[in-house]
Structure 1
Amino acid sequence: MNRIGTAGRFFDIFNFLFLSFLALITIYPFWDTLIVSVIPLNEYLNSTIHVFPTSLTFDAYIYLFSMKELWTSYGATLFITTVGTAINMILTVMAAYALSKPQLKGHRVIMFLIVFTMMFSGGIIPTYLIVKNLGLMNTLWALIIPSAINTYNLIIMRNFFGSLPEGLVDAARIDGSNDMGVLFKIVIPLSMPAISTITLFYAVSRWNEFFNAIFFISDKNLWPLQLFLRSMLFENESSYSGGGDNVFLLGPSIKMATVMAATIPVMLVYPFFQKYFVNGVMVGGVKE
């Protein structure tokens, strides 16, 4: 018994040290980015490892927040995230509910065709031609409509709906509810963990919209935040006039400040939805 207790303590210590080290190497890049964004250029050049700053300057953030392009890209990203996520969830929930019903004629064929798109897609060129022929080029709808439903998220929602007790649905029908009534009064309230999880999946994907924006958006006034971030990271150096003849080189600092401006909103929202991840995803995989 004593041996088991000693081995257990050694395992706990090793597990604690290993996970602490893993957390450290995961958190440090974010910490380094934050520190570089608030230290002067000479301090950045004098050290390759930045743990604690000896002096602080917010010139990079002052310069960044004074840029009109930042707020324009924020507006585009907020529109894509809010409107796009709403469309994603409406279509995903309604399609998943319909496909979770075995009495739907041809539901197996429909699911096969949906899953087929996960393995074989049309490709970049056909997608580009479709978006162009629909007149969506250089519009934010080009980043929303082509990805209105994610197949993986649809499958998770369908499995979650299929795992709900059928007796509740039957009881609602006996009380006179139709399909829409059952969906909004019974199914959705019981599925909030899965819905919250899928909503966060969609929202993060929308917030990080980058690949499609490169192809479909050439107007800088419509650039989402990630394209603005890309443009800032590829700048060799930026300068900021702090008044008079003082000029501060902000190359590394402005880049890291832009990264923080694009990352912090998601980091602030994530903790409020984290509790839904395990519950929503695991329960969604209970029943095929």
Structure 2
Amino acid sequence: MDNRSFSSKVRNIIIYAVVFLLGVMCLLPLWNIVAISFSSGAAVSANKVGLLPIDFTLAAYKKIIGDNQFWRSFGISVIRVFFGVLLNVSLCVLMAYPLTKTKREFKARNIYMNLLIFAMLFNGGMIPSFILVKNLGLLNSIWALILPGALPIFNVILVMNFFLGIPKSLEEAAVIDGSTPIQVLTKILVPCAKPSIATIALFSIVGNWNDFFAGLIYIQKVKNYPIMTYIQSLRVDMQELLRQSTSSAALGNAAELSNKNLNAAKIMVAIIPLLLIYPFLQKYLITGMVMGSVKE
């Protein structure tokens, strides 16, 4: 018993140490970005910045505050996330519910399921997607960023399997009491599936917020860029800054900026919403993933 207890303690110590080291390895790059955002452009260009800022400055953040396009793109991404999450969650729940029925209850179930699996494995590609969005008249609109990914099939399968894990007797009791399918879905299944719904909502938030490629494809005007597309397109033209600098103070400000520290500051500002939202949904993430991915 003593040996087993000692080996168990050693095993736990090793596990905690490995998890701690992995956490530090994930945190260090983010901390380096923070340090770069508060360092001068000269120090960043010389690769002197490690985990602590060098020649501490707020020049990059001051430029962000005065950048109207940054805040416009930030607002576009907020709107995109709001409508994207609302649409993703609604369609996933509405699609998953009928797929939990048997073939006797829903005759076309297997057909729809096969179509979903096929669409998840294969897609038309970038050019057909662009042509479709263009022909629908959605280019340069926020709907071009939302509608092409409105129904994530992986999320549908996740919610469907979670619904299948809910005791069938609950639904049968509600039907006996006179509930309609919509009432069964909204008053029984959805409240029971909160972990799964919170999980797909988190996936949708992160996906819609971090996506920059859709903006490059479907948005042709910089003023309509979402935040990540705008950040990806940012450049600091030092020659232009020096040309516009007419005083020693302006020259000093120009010397404090570089592509690296400006983009690092913009990245930090852009990820703040995700850092604020994640702690509230994290408790549902593991439960939703595990229970939604296993079907008895």
TM-score range, shorter chain: over 0.9
Query: What letter corresponds to residue 40 of structure 2 in structure 1?
Result: P
Distance 2:196 2:99 in 1: 16
* Aligned ranges 1:83-232 → 2 under 5 Å: 83-102=83-102, 103-232=105-234
In the alignment, what sits opposite 2:58? 58
Aligned length: 287
Moved more, 235-244 or 212-221: 235-244
Distance 2:131 2:52 in 1: 51
Residue 244 of structure 1 and its aligned partner are, at CA, apart by 5.3
In the alignment, what sits opposite 1:33? 33
Query: What letter corresponds to residue 275 of structure 1 in structure 2?
Result: K
Deviation string for 1:55-85 (max 9, x for gaps)? Answer: 5321210111110111110111011100111
- Distance change in 2, residues 1:22/1:239 (3 Å): farther
Stretches of structure 1 that go unaligned for 5 or more consecutive residues are none
Report the TM-score when normalising by structure 2.
0.90
Query: What letter corresponds to residue 276 of structure 2 in structure 1?
Result: L
Match of 2:248 among 245, 256, 263: 245
In the alignment, what sits opposite 2:72? 72
Distance 2:186 2:17 in 1: 47
In the alignment, what sits opposite 1:257? 265
Residue 157 of structure 1 and its aligned partner are, at CA, apart by 0.8
**What's the C-alpha RMSD, in Å, of the aligned pairs?**
2.2
In the alignment, what sits opposite 1:278? 286
Residue 7 of structure 1 and its aligned partner are, at CA, apart by 3.2
Stretches of structure 2 that go unaligned for 5 or more consecutive residues are none
Residue 178 of structure 1 and its aligned partner are, at CA, apart by 0.5
Query: What letter corresponds to residue 264 of structure 1 in structure 2?
Result: I
Query: What letter corresponds to residue 280 of structure 2 in structure 1?
Result: F
- Distance change in 2, residues 1:253/1:179 (3 Å): same
Residues 39, 49 of structure 2: 8 Å contact kept: no
Residue 45 of structure 1 and its aligned partner are, at CA, apart by 5.1
SS of 1:144 mapped into structure 2: helix
Distance 1:209 1:54 in 2: 31
Residue 236 of structure 1 and its aligned partner are, at CA, apart by 5.4
Deviation string for 1:162-209 (max 9, x for gaps)? Answer: 221111111111221111111111111111111111111111111112
Percent identity, please.
Answer: 33
* Aligned ranges 1:7-26 → 2 under 5 Å: 7-26=7-26
Deviation string for 1:213-263 (max 9, x for gaps)? Answer: 11110111110001111022x445485999953132311321110111111
- Distance change in 2, residues 1:83/1:121 (3 Å): same
Residue 15 of structure 1 and its aligned partner are, at CA, apart by 2.8
Residue 23 of structure 1 and its aligned partner are, at CA, apart by 1.6
